[in-house]
Amino acid sequence: MKIEIREKPWDLAIVVISTILLLGIIYLTPDSWVRTVLGLPYLLFFPGYVLISFLFPEEEPLDKIERIALSFGLSIAITPLIGLLLNYTWEISLVPLLTSISLFIFAFSGLAFYRRRAIPLEEVFHIELEINPPDWESYDMIDKALVVGTVILLIASGALAVHIATTPRTGERFTEFYILGEGGMADDYPNDLQVNETGTLTIGVVNREHETTDYTVVMGLGYEFDDMNSIGTLSDNISLPGNNTYFETEISLNHTESWNMTVEFSVEMPEIYRMKFFLLRDGEVYRDLHYTLLVRDE
């Protein structure tokens, strides 16, 4: 069987149809693995291929290997250029990128088709594929085994490639645990107070564990020279929400979900203390923070 692309631009039609299919998949099922499979040629091959088809509609002077190589090379150059233009004219996000690259592909596919129609048919770039079924009966057992093994290997390699391309990699697992001063910044902490003066700060947690995680947040007042990595016995000289001598709350966060809470406190005895903050996971200290607090007598 012989397949020839000359009279009808099936190559350009495949590019356009694949682009339309990709746009539909992104809109309807954005998490589909087909999005990744079609997205790679969409970004790395289609823009360069339609541009080359427009610039060189004839069979000469480029052979097929050169066309393929230039298609990849130009696509790698065109896509960032489109992003650079969007940075100054629109914005760099999914919708503007898809719109701009797709319009580029559609426009140059149409221009390439127009240019092919304007030159003699025998000079038009063409692709010939000849498929002849193997003469299975003429193969001996070793040849048949090699053919079957090769087919299985190709199928397995393709499945592995799709799996690698479509399976998201789990990044580093960690949790952000922070305290902020009154200005909402990581400074200007209430670290020099008068007795019974109110101090204000914010405690924050962001889950980057790639799974839903349960935490316990503990805040209390320790002494300057106690074990900074252990909750231990917290001082009772502090007044926290609800007139408690330490603050404790349990939270559950999904991946990338954040939590924060503003806490007001006061201390009734002058001393040099260590303001201590603990993030517990599975009943054990997972993260800890502290800063030195000087409480002066009135």
Look up the pTM and report it.
0.48
Compute the mean pLDDT over every residue in the chain, rounded to the nearest whole number. Answer: 81
Average pLDDT over residues 90-102: 85
What pLDDT does 148 receive? 77
- What digits encode the pLDDT tens for the residues 263-278? 888 888 888 888 889 9
What pLDDT does 214 receive? 95
Lowest mean pLDDT among 7-16, 69-78, 233-242, 280-289: 233-242
Which pLDDT band holds residue 187 (cuts at 50, 70, 90)?
confident
- Written in H, E and C, the secondary structure of the chain is CEEEECCCCHHHHHHHHHHHHHHHHHHHCCCCHHHHHHHHHHHHCHHHHHHHHHHCCECCCCCHHHHHHHHHHHHHHHHHHHHHHHHHHCCCCHHHHHHHHHHHHHHHHHHHHHHHHCCCHHHECCEEEECCCCCHHHCCHHHHHHHHHHHHHHHHHHHHHHHHHHCCCCCCCEEEEEEECCCCCCCCCCCEEECCCCEEEEEEEEEECCCCEEEEEEEEEEECCCCCCCCCCCCCCEEEHHHECEEEEEEEECCCCEEEEEEEEEECCCEEEEEEEEEEECCEEEEEEEEEEEEECC
- What digits encode the pLDDT tens for the residues 112-144? 888 888 887 777 776 665 656 666 677 677 767
In the chain, % of residues over pLDDT 90: 21
